[in-house]
Amino acid sequence: MVFSSITFLYYFLPLCILCHFLVPTRYRNKILLIFSLIFYFYGESKYIIVLIFSCILNYYAGNLILKYPEHKKQILIGSLLINFGLLFYFKYFNFFITNINHIFQTSLPILQIIMPIGISFFTFQATSYVIDIYKNEIKPAKSLLDFATYLTLFPQLIAGPIVRYETVEQEMNERPTKAHLVAQGLKRFIIGLGKKVLIANLLGAFAESLSSLATPTLLSYWLKALAYTFQIYYDFSGYSDMAIGLGLVFGFHFLENFNYPLIAKSITDFWHRWHISLSTWFRDYLYIPLGGNRHGKKKQIRNILIVWFTTGLWHGASWNFILWGLYFGILLLLEKFVFKKFLDKHKIFGHISTFILILFSFVIFETESISDIILFFKGLFDLGGPFTSIETNFYLKNYFVILLIAFIGMGPWLKKLYTKINSTTTGQKILNILEPISLMVLLLVITGFIIDDSYNPFLYFRF
């Protein structure tokens, strides 16, 4: 079940909210757990057992670490091996076998494995819980029901953000009903839904149209790179907005996952703003345990490359994702050890060069085969070919407005304007009238697009 579906918007979600607020407070976790399992079962009935097993495994692993501190290291290692063993089997086994066959000219069988939706997210979330108990940073959940509610919570179950237990520990059993949080959450949800349906989906269709050109042009390649970048950003940040908004509706405060990453002044700055829950997970649970920057430059370089190889691999069992991760790892090393002073001094150049490097990164991200990536980059720099064509101009004209909206929305300018208007008494009165009307109209427009549009993927579901 996806958020941008009629089933979710007009059946599942209203019923869940109604049940959640009608029952006594002590039953609310049970209601959320039931609806979260239904949500997952609707889209992945066969593998819901994997999610339930993860709940049981990690809950009891956390309790055993507390109960038997003398054996906590062995318990931690055992739980990590099982968690990541499942992730490897479902997500990477066939990739591993395919490469073994290619390298050694063998014919090992490829299994018919379907990856459980969201396994990368709930595996990382579960392992962070066990590791934090091992490090004495949190106490185990009070009950299996509480932990299962945390791990399966449907707003962030499928595509994050990766929520650590410490973020919601107090709110698992103490979530007072506040109307302003519900209103704020629904507003955030509708805006995120608009980003996904009205911007990301249209830009995805734009990229597909450019891919079908009989004669690609220099301009079409650059427009496609731009469309890829904006589509991924608005799809994933839109999903995070919806998850955070739904969290507020049910009384949870999830941490922000995006902070206008496309206006970053450097690649380092970009990764402080993009998919924050993932980058901090790798920092805290891989980079720092490897030694971080504490044991000399050579080991720091090694640690950075390991982290970014793993980050790429986390996104998918494909060489383009590994290349994407290493691309960022190398750029971060160059920034840290070669260009840092220059970028600090020339900030305008930093913003422009970072945006272009981000465009290149999402060409790698979206283009599956290495040969196609090479062809794409040749197209980006083919000055000898046609600059544009009638077809390219046609699609640019049709999608120009949505591109302009995407450019405006990638920065905090609209938010600043809203804050400025809301800071005055007159502005507050105007917004109090216009805001609910605008949100209702936006929801109606989104609904129309969902009903009419067959192109409605969630890109991060594959992770």
315 is a catalytic site residue: yes
Q: Do both 185 and 167 map to the same domain?
A: no
pLDDT of residue 46: 86
Is the domain of 203 the same as that of 163? no
Residues 343, 440 within the same domain: yes
pLDDT in tens, 347-371: 899 999 999 999 999 999 999 889 9
**Do 100 and 212 belong together in one domain?**
no
As a whole number of angstroms, the distance between CA 244 and CA 188 comes to 7
Q: Which residue from 90, 134, 86, 85 is spatially nearest to 114, judged by alpha carbons?
A: 90
Q: Which helix (H) or strand (E) holds 248?
A: helix 218-249
| 307 in a structural domain | no
Is 90 exceeded by the pLDDT of residue 296?
Answer: no
Angle at 272 between CA 270 and CA 275, to 5 degrees: 85
Q: Average per-residue pLDDT in the chain?
A: 93
Of 124 and 296, the one with more pLDDT = 124
pLDDT for the residue 461: 55
Domain co-membership, 115 together with 194: no
Does residue 455 have a pLDDT over 70? no
What percent of the chain has a predicted confidence (pLDDT) above 90?
A: 86
Residue 76 belongs to some domain of the structure: yes
**Integer Cα distance of 454 and 434 in angstroms:** 31
199 located within any domain: yes
Same domain, 139 and 216: no
Do 147 and 85 belong to one domain? yes
99-141 tens-digit pLDDT: 999 999 998 999 999 899 999 999 999 999 999 999 999 999 9
The tens digit of pLDDT for each residue in 145-180 reads: 999 999 999 999 988 799 999 999 999 988 877 899
Same domain for 96 and 116: yes
DSSP string over 391-437: HHHHHHHHHHHHHHHHHHHTSSHHHHHHHHHHTSHHHHHHHHHHHHH
Mean pLDDT within 192-200:
96
**Is 23 domain-assigned?**
yes
- Do 169 and 189 belong to one domain? no
Residue 74 lies in a domain: yes
Whether 255 maps to a domain, the answer reads yes
- pLDDT score of 26 more than 70: yes
Q: What percent of the chain has pLDDT over 70?
A: 98
With bands split at pLDDT 50, 70 and 90, how would you rate the model's confidence at 457?
low
Query: Has residue 392 got a pLDDT over 60?
Result: yes
pLDDT at 344: 85
Residues whose CB is less than 8 angstroms from the CB of residue 278 and which lie 6 or more positions away in sequence, other chains included: 124, 160, 162, 311, 314
Residue 327 included in any domain = no
**Which of 158, 176, 194 corresponds to the end of one domain?**
176
Quick one: 142 and 199 in the same domain?
A: no
Q: What is the pTM of this model?
A: 0.94
Considering 176, 198, 226, which residue would you say is the last residue of a domain? 176
3 state SS of 260: coil
Six-digit token string for 55: 């709940």
Please check whether residue 197 lies inside any domain of the structure: yes
Distances (CA, A) of 160 to 128, 326, 461: 14, 23, 10
CA atoms of 295 and 352, how far apart (whole Å): 34
- Residue showing tokens 């690649």: 267
Whether residue 217 contacts residue 392, with contact meaning beta carbons closer than 8 Å, is answered with yes
* The last residue of a domain, from among 144, 176, 208: 176
Q: 253 and 422 in contact (C-beta within 8 Å)? A: no
Do residues 148 and 213 share a domain? no
Looking at the fold, whether 428 and 356 belong to one and the same domain comes out as: yes
What confidence tens digit (pLDDT) does each residue in 47-102 have? 899 999 999 999 999 999 999 999 999 999 999 999 999 999 999 999 999 999 99
Kindly indicate the confidence band of residue 458, based on its pLDDT and cuts at 50, 70 and 90. Answer: low
In the chain, how many domains are there? Answer: 2
Could you tell me the pLDDT band of residue 414, with boundaries at 50, 70 and 90?
very high
8 A C-beta contact, residue 191 and residue 3: no
Q: Range of 36's domain? A: 6-176
> Tokens 């901090």 map to which residue?
280
Exactly one of 102, 315, 346, 351 is catalytic; which is it?
315
